[in-house]
Amino acid sequence: MAWERSMGKPGNKNNIIKLLQESRNKQTAEEIADCLGIQRNTASAILNELARDGIVRKEKTRPVMFSYIENDSTFSDDPFASFIGADKSLKETVEKCKLSAIYLKRDMPILLFGPSGAGKSLLAEYIYKYAKYIHTIPEDAPFVVLNCADYANNKELLSSVLFGYKKGAFTGAHRDTRGLIEEADNGYLFLDEVHRLSPEGQEKLFHYMDKGVVSRVGDNGHNIELNVRLIFATTEGKESMLDTFLRRIPVEVTLPPFHERTLEERYQLIIYMIHQETFVMECSFLVSSNVINRLLTFQGKGNIGSLRNILKLSCTKAYNEAEGKKGPVPLKLRHLSDTQKFMTGTGSVPYVNQDVEISSEKESVQYIFTTEQIHVYFPAETIVTAVYEYLEKKISKVRFRKIIYDEINHMIDDVIYQEMDPFIQNLYNQAVNNILVYLQDNYGLKYNGVMEMVFVKILYALNNQSDKPDDSQYEIIVRKLQPVMYRYYKMGLIFTEMIHQTMDYESSPWFVRLFAMLYFYSMAKEDGDYTNAIIVSHGPATASSIASTVNRVFETYIFEAFDMAYDTPKSEIVSRIKKYLKNTNTSKGLLIFVDMGSLLSISRDLKDDIEGDLGIVNNITTEMALEAGERILRHEDLQSIMDNILSHHVTKKSYVPSRQKPKAIVLCCITGLGTAVKMKTLLKECLEGIELEVVETPFPDLQRDGSQCDVFRKYNVQFVVTTSKLEAEDYTAIHLNELIDKRGEEVIYATVGKYFDKEKVQKFIENIVRSFTMRNLIGQLTILNPDKILDDVEKALTRLEILEGENYPIDLKKMLYIHICVMVERLILEKGQLSESNPTQSLKCRESFVKNLKESFSVLEAQYNVSINDMEIHMIYSLIKNV
């Protein structure tokens, strides 16, 4: 691989220097490589080394440009470059401070808010240094500090210290004395804890801010003109400051407490402070990872200031203990002066897991981290195009994998040699390493040092790059890739979630996820398109330990584990698996190992959720899982995998072959019972060679659940025939009466017509028209004479219409004729079998209707010797009210 190559021949370095010296122009690594006929990576590695040695200047543009540094270079550094956080969480703060320093006149005072020890005094010093650096104040300008809290009990004294006093102004004022504000002329005055200043003192300051003059105490008539830049600081909130004071301050900034700084900054601060101690003690420290983890979670009062004091004491303790011993001084938890202050919340993830050696021999600049700009260029266009072409089947999977592999490698080549701060690299390395090990242990990720380094660089670059990628566009791609690459999708998800948890890492989460997904995909042995396999086992980690062993052995994510508590009910197991299957591609089948015989029956619950075959094996051992894993990776079919496992291991299986949902016409009768049965028989006879099933479903179910109804899960429903009005949104429903109309013909052509040839469908329609006319329907009666019963029913219904005072529409009447004729025959046949009144069916119809119906049907009841019970009345009532 490219990153494993050496820097090539020794002459390359000299050639590069010569080229840059001669050309005097900035050049990219690529241009230099082309010009010298060497690999770009080799050129990039050498250029970075030369930049480190100060021979070549590296400009963090895109692409990165390199130029030769002439000896007379006057390049000097912005003092803020060494202020930890200046380019990260304090970026805005620092920009405001710089702005106030750039302002040429004195009247741009700045007020720093923040808790004790957050770094206000230090920031004030940096502002002063910066003003010198940009020459808004002279090189020898004073920086005068006054902490108003020191005079909290003597406000008069504070005023006289600040503004000076005239001889005789108060007892003990023996001579005219300059105030600190005069000392600060042409430079800066930093007033810490400014809220402690008396109202009179504040008045005097306003006067200076407004007019540029001050008068000493006791000498009000004499104004001294000054040019002093003011910086104020307070640990109090705004409310403790006079409004008149705040109004005069154009720039306000707030420094956050230590625990609100980013993890990276907290780490930098700790390392930096220990490094300072190496000079004091003249030794190196080997800081244990426990110490670092504790310090990182410090939330005590006094923030960085307290932390500094604690470190000073701890380093002294450690030094004394190690006196006379060789090697770096170990700094352990026991040396922390006030251990309980650092208690990490229980269960929190340790940030680092390696000790860090901090040496005084290294230059201090190496510990004052300035963010090295690493540029990561993601070949979005190529990858996005490849994804779409692959999804649209314009390119093969092999081609797709090749494109992804090439592009990811290109990106890796680009980023791998870019330099970053070694200590921050260490922090990132440890976090990334933890995650990759987890993915290796559980998902068989095959990873190496290069992968770790790539992630470190990419994450770091994203965190520090000003032109961040447009994250939302990557979200779309990730979602598109989910179904075709779900294994890598999941690993990408785990990676991003863990990096967020362990590092508070938030930059470009979708980009990171897509990159992780594609990187894992391009490096994996398998593309992920093989039989899905899961292990369901009771016990805290039985399933996951077997799954992780197999995944690790094959360095491939084959098994998913479901650890179940011993009392987990079957329904919950099923629902967990169903949830998993929702985001899983099962077209190559699903093999499930369970540890209980009773779980074999989950095949019934799961079979509709799986596209391919489903195999369940009622036993699980690591050996069996290993064998299955091996066969899965050989792309054996599920049936043969199972046969082999069974022949080698004593066990049982349940096998449900992949099932195409059968096509069906659904009959939905509000009345249920006989009418539906009769219609079903008729409809089936009409099919004549068309392979369709005719199934019934209860009206209330369909009305309530629509296409979520069970029948839609089991069948590929063509259309639904109903005897009652039904609002169908996402499926086709047709009323029984319409079946023999034009609409019936249209619906049949639009649905069934898609699958069968025209002549058969035409025949089907003709059959329906012939059979579903009313007389024919009633002609299906087996014992009753259709003409006779029709006459009797007509009389009964006419009587009901009169009693109810209604004229039923013709469609309804037809329905009622069919229903009542069938009902009478059914009652005759079932006499003695059916309970008198169905207890679950309460009679919900109007009382007067029951009375009228009983009266109008009494003749019919007597003639046929049947009794129309409450349930039947209810059905007739429903028909009348629904149609």
Ligand X SMILES: Nc1ncnc2c1ncn2[C@@H]1O[C@H](COP(=O)(O)OP(=O)(O)OP(=O)(O)O)[C@@H](O)[C@H]1O
Residues that bind ligand X (CB under 6 A): 83-85, 114, 116-122, 192, 235, 269, 272, 304-305, 308
For the CB of residue 144, give the shortest distance to ligand X in the complex, in Å.
15
Contact residues for 466 (Cβ-Cβ < 8 A; gap 6+): none
The residue among 196 and 216 lying less far from ligand X, judged by its C-beta, is 196
For the CB of residue 368, give the shortest distance to ligand X in the complex, in Å.
8
The residue among 231 and 875 lying less far from ligand X, judged by its C-beta, is 231
The residue among 83 and 474 lying less far from ligand X, judged by its C-beta, is 83
Q: Which string of b and e fits 58-93 if b means at least 16 CB within 10 Å? A: beeeeebbbbbeeeeeeeeebbbebbbbbbbbbeeb
Q: How far is CA 853 from the centre of its chain?
A: 64
> Which of 86, 104, 77 minimizes the C-alpha distance to 253?
86
The residue among 192 and 407 lying less far from ligand X, judged by its C-beta, is 192
Distance CA 279, CA 763 (A): 99
For the CB of residue 420, give the shortest distance to ligand X in the complex, in Å.
19
470 sits in the region (left: phi over 0; alpha: psi -120 to 50; else beta) called: beta
Token representation of residue 427: 């922090």
The residue among 192 and 792 lying less far from ligand X, judged by its C-beta, is 192
The residue among 312 and 649 lying less far from ligand X, judged by its C-beta, is 312
For the CB of residue 303, give the shortest distance to ligand X in the complex, in Å.
7
For the CB of residue 456, give the shortest distance to ligand X in the complex, in Å.
23
Token representation of residue 611: 């596209």
- 421 exposure class (CB count in 10 Å sphere: 0-12, 13-18, 19+): buried
The residue among 119 and 509 lying less far from ligand X, judged by its C-beta, is 119
For the CB of residue 98, give the shortest distance to ligand X in the complex, in Å.
15
For the CB of residue 305, give the shortest distance to ligand X in the complex, in Å.
3
Other beta carbons within 10 angstroms of residue 250's beta carbon come to: 14
Q: Is 402 helix (H, G, I), strand (E, B) or coil?
A: helix
The residue among 304 and 860 lying less far from ligand X, judged by its C-beta, is 304
The residue among 123 and 668 lying less far from ligand X, judged by its C-beta, is 123
Chain residue at closest Cβ approach to ligand X: 119
For the CB of residue 159, give the shortest distance to ligand X in the complex, in Å.
21
Distance CA 208, CA 34 (A): 64
Other beta carbons within 10 angstroms of residue 221's beta carbon come to: 6
> Which of 301, 235, 274, 264 minimizes the C-alpha distance to 89?
264
Token representation of residue 459: 């994450």
The residue among 305 and 589 lying less far from ligand X, judged by its C-beta, is 305
693-696 vs 188-192, strand pairing mode: unpaired
CA angle, 849 then 850 then 853, to 5°: 80
DSSP for 246-285? Answer: HTT--EEEEPPPGGGS-HHHHHHHHHHHHHHHHHHHTS-E
Strand partners, 146: 191
CA angle, 63 then 66 then 72, to 5°: 145
The residue among 254 and 716 lying less far from ligand X, judged by its C-beta, is 254
For the CB of residue 311, give the shortest distance to ligand X in the complex, in Å.
10
For the CB of residue 88, give the shortest distance to ligand X in the complex, in Å.
11
The residue among 229 and 266 lying less far from ligand X, judged by its C-beta, is 266
For the CB of residue 313, give the shortest distance to ligand X in the complex, in Å.
14
Q: Map 592-628 to HEC letters.
A: EEECCHHHHHHHHHHHHHCCCCEEEECCCCHHHHHHH
The shares of helix, strand and coil residues in the chain, as percent rounded to the nearest 5, are 55, 10, 35
The residue among 114 and 164 lying less far from ligand X, judged by its C-beta, is 114
For the CB of residue 84, give the shortest distance to ligand X in the complex, in Å.
4
For the CB of residue 497, give the shortest distance to ligand X in the complex, in Å.
30
Token representation of residue 290: 């426990």
Q: Is 576 helix (H, G, I), strand (E, B) or coil?
A: helix
CB 839 within 8 A of CB 869: no
For the CB of residue 224, give the shortest distance to ligand X in the complex, in Å.
29
Phi, psi of 480 (to 5 degrees): -65, -35
The residue among 109 and 119 lying less far from ligand X, judged by its C-beta, is 119
